[in-house]
Amino acid sequence: MTSEPGRCVGGHRGEERDPGWKSWEEEPSSQLDLPGNEWQLKDTGVVSLEAVGQDSPVTNETRLKTGGAAGRKAAVVQKKGTEETERDSLMMELTGLVQKVVRESSWWERQGIDCSILLSAFLSLPAGFLLLGSSQALVFAMGVLLMGTAHAIITVKGTHLASHGALSESRAWGGFWAVFFIEVCGSFPAKAGIEAHVKLHHAHTNVIGLGDSSTWRIPFLPRYVYLFLAPLAVPVLTPLVALGLLKEHAPGLALRTGCLMALGLYSQYWLLLHISGFQSSGSALLCMLLCRALFSLPYIHVNIFQHIGLAMFSPHRRPKRIYQMTHGVLNLPRNPLLDWTFGHSLINCHVEHHLFPFLSDHMCLKVKPIVSQYLREKQLPYHEDTYLSRLRLFFDKYPELMVFAPPITDLVGIQ
């Protein structure tokens, strides 16, 4: 593994790994890489100054004076290109600030803290199974709470970080953790999960028909049912949806995914029967449902609160990345329970996460003051609201937000 003691992800022995983005020091400032995979970099819109004629010795004034109609047209094109570059430079400047923080951070900050939280969840499972075997109601309730919390940490925080490759700087280990957390623990195909979350939701955040969070809308459900009852069915619906998605996979991949999903589900079922001492299959399955549904309500709420109701964009007139993310993403305040179970990137650092999706939860929290200060200095939105405020908003305006098609936002002077 590595020469660093206690490290829970892969690496090379005796080598100090770069914090994930190895080409930063080698790239010119006008071509600065953003945190993410190749597909994300293509979507950021970062271009070189030369690509828009910024360094051309022929100025706009010269073209206007000497070029006639053609010169005026060229001047307009160059001016537009200059404005595009100025907007791109905001993202590059912010990336440079974040890059500096990441380079100066230790492995423990970059990944170790989040790995230790996930490890603590796994270590708490034996105690949870033992508590669930008690005949005393209070002790059994403690077992449900412990098992449900551990399950939320593993299947929400763990799968989310694994889908972004944030648990390891090694591509091979990143793939392993993605399959383990998403398929074995989360009962969902890793390929489908990554494509839906990373390649659609993140690449096309709040773009109508692509990453507009429409998958969370169920228009025929009344507000009471959707907000307070339907989320409890998530543990049952997740593997059922997964089975439907396996039809789109190659036979070998579908077989592997199906086996790993079955392994994860059957392992918990077997342990409830043989460690907790449940006497019937029905009682064991009911306990699985209870533990897995413990955090289903806030899971659904968080997923809709932080995007729906904010700016939505046309796929043909989408703004640059920094405007797209700052107008279409919202942070919730710090919450000790949700920060621990879901992770900072899903709760109080969601804006930072969408700007830099391959940062771990702790690193999102660390760069939060820098990002928030920079956006406010540049007079860009930095949306924040409380959980209860968003819940009231969605309850009061449920048809507008969750039933009818969202209006398209046109950022005048930006697009």
Stretch 226-251: mean pLDDT: 94
As a whole number of angstroms, the distance between CA 200 and CA 43 comes to 11
Three-class SS state of 319: coil
As a whole number of angstroms, the distance between CA 215 and CA 49 comes to 38
As a whole number of angstroms, the distance between CA 26 and CA 32 comes to 9
As a whole number of angstroms, the distance between CA 54 and CA 78 comes to 8
Stretch 204-227: mean pLDDT: 90
Three-class SS state of 415: coil
In a domain, 214, yes or no: yes
In a domain, 306, yes or no: yes
In a domain, 338, yes or no: yes
What are the residues whose beta carbons fall under 8 Å from the beta carbon of 163, sequence distance 6 or more?
Answer: 178, 182, 190, 193, 194, 197, 198
Fill in the amino acid letter for 335: N
User: What count of other Cβ atoms lies within 10 Å of the Cβ of residue 176?
Assistant: 16
In a domain, 359, yes or no: yes
The single residue listed with the structure tokens 């533990």 is 291
Lowest-confidence range among 192-201, 203-212, 299-308?
A: 203-212
Range of the domain at 239: 92-403
In a domain, 198, yes or no: yes
In a domain, 65, yes or no: no
- In b/e form, how buried is each residue of 194-213, taking b as 16+ CB within 10 angstroms? bebbbbbbbbbbbbbebbbb
pLDDT of residue 87: 59
Is residue 343 within 8 A of residue 161, CB to CB? The reply is: yes
- Assign residue 309 a region (left: φ > 0; alpha: ψ between -120 and 50; beta: otherwise): left
The number of distinct structural domains making up the chain is: 1
Q: How far lies 9's CA from each of 49, 114, 121, in Å?
A: 39, 11, 16
Does position 63 have pLDDT exceeding 70, yes or no?
no
Does position 5 have pLDDT exceeding 50, yes or no?
no
Stretch 76-85: mean pLDDT: 49
DSSP 203: T
- The better pLDDT of the pair 55, 148 is held by 148
Q: If we measure between CA atoms, which residue out of 344, 358, 370 comes closest to residue 113?
A: 344
- H-only helix segments in 211-320: 223-228, 234-245, 251-274, 281-292, 296-305
Does position 368 have pLDDT exceeding 80, yes or no?
yes
In a domain, 126, yes or no: yes
Q: What is the DSSP string of 14-48?
A: T----SS-TTTTTS-GGGPPPSS-HHHHHHH----
The phi, psi pair for 319, rounded to 5°, reads: -80, 175
User: What count of other Cβ atoms lies within 10 Å of the Cβ of residue 339?
Assistant: 20
Is residue 371 within 8 A of residue 329, CB to CB? The reply is: no
Q: How confident is the model at residue 215 (pLDDT cuts 50, 70, 90)?
A: confident
Q: If we measure between CA atoms, which residue out of 269, 272, 244, 243 comes closest to residue 258?
A: 243
As a whole number of angstroms, the distance between CA 213 and CA 308 comes to 7
The single residue listed with the structure tokens 């342990």 is 271
In a domain, 245, yes or no: yes
